[in-house]
A = this chain, B = another copy of it.
């Protein structure tokens, strides 16, 4: 197949290694090989069917940086678009300083997708809009994992459970998976275990730092504590910027319903504020942390206080928004009770050793760290064997497209480091 390695490579140690490594990665079955003493020739016999794949792989091995990552992004919504913009902006610097070659090769939305045979990836917005290619995640994944590029990464910025169902298969095929989507981490424990098993047995990584605290270093910090042999006693925190804002503002002067309307109008809540007020989103984050800590917990095991009055849980969104006043008397009562005890109300999640978890409204002393965070901040406290007297604390904005995309991007850098980029 390769008649001559060429003068450029001749005699350099490692040429054969690089070639065979590339052929192995491309899953080319080598039948026989021979290398002359001049080291200018390496002959490889292989099946005819593998010839194109082998040529591409050999070419890539000698002409591309080994830190070339083929990227496919699913879900070009707010987070996905911010991520694509961040990658485009940072790529030249990463290329220059870390020899990291990030190549956007596919973008998939729910209905259509764009694969890069057709145009310049910087124009992904218009290329995707103009594309008539229906979304097919099988074809998408094969395209991202092109034989001629050494590594493939799928970045799932959708909020889709259907996409999460593909992760284990992609990982088994050697495609790295990175996501801010909580469905895999907090979904069925069987699927989670299959994803973990696929990631640990092979060379592909599964990372999802941005599922908790967006760009804040939460999951990596927990992993480092555990991997260096610390013992986690508890993880406590405020994991919802929306609920943080509501209870930081709720002082009895303005009815809770008015604050809720303001938060909704400002875009601080989900389109249906019940998605925040039910506590399920916070519970999902706690499940993710519990599983990271090795406590194989499921969402239904978390004790969750749903702040939505029973009368408003089953009505449609429009009716819900009209009847927000039904929150007011209960919330005012809770606030007055806390105030009488010289305390404040906060919506807090707590995870204890072994996987006992609860999420709900608690009364805290005014000087408590959780009582003094900035309006929409998240805060996480790790109490461990080493951080026993004083916990390790991470705090800051825990939502928003820019910081969430940055969390996904940081995971991508971790994958780049794992394939050799000096990061």
Q: Which residues of A contact B (CB under 8 A)?
A: 13-14, 16-24, 27-37, 39, 45, 86, 89-90, 93-94, 97-98, 199-200, 203, 205, 215-217, 220-221, 223-225, 227-230, 367, 369, 372, 374-377, 386-387, 389-397, 402-403, 406, 409-410, 413-414, 417-418, 420, 422-423
Contact = CB atoms under 8 A, between A and B. Distances in A.
Nearest to A33: B35
A17 B14 contact: no
A392 B33 contact: no
The listed residue with most B CB atoms (<10 A of its CB), out of A39, A93, A387, A392, is A392
A394 B394 contact: yes
Contacts of A23: 13, 17
Contacts of A406: 224-225, 228, 230, 386
A17 B21 contact: yes
Contact of A16 (B33, B98, B215): B33
The 3 closest A-B pairs by CB, nearest first: A14-B24, A17-B20, A90-B229
B396 A387 contact: yes
Contacts of A27: 13
Contacts of A396: 387, 390-393
The listed residue with most B CB atoms (<10 A of its CB), out of A22, A90, A224, A393, is A224
A392 B216 contact: yes
A30 B90 CA distance: 40
18 contacts: A13-B24, A20-B20, A33-B33, A33-B34, A34-B34, A37-B45, A90-B227, A203-B420, A205-B422, A215-B386, A215-B387, A215-B392, A217-B394, A223-B423, A225-B406, A227-B409, A395-B395, A417-B417
A329 to B, nearest CB: 31
A97 B20 CA distance: 28
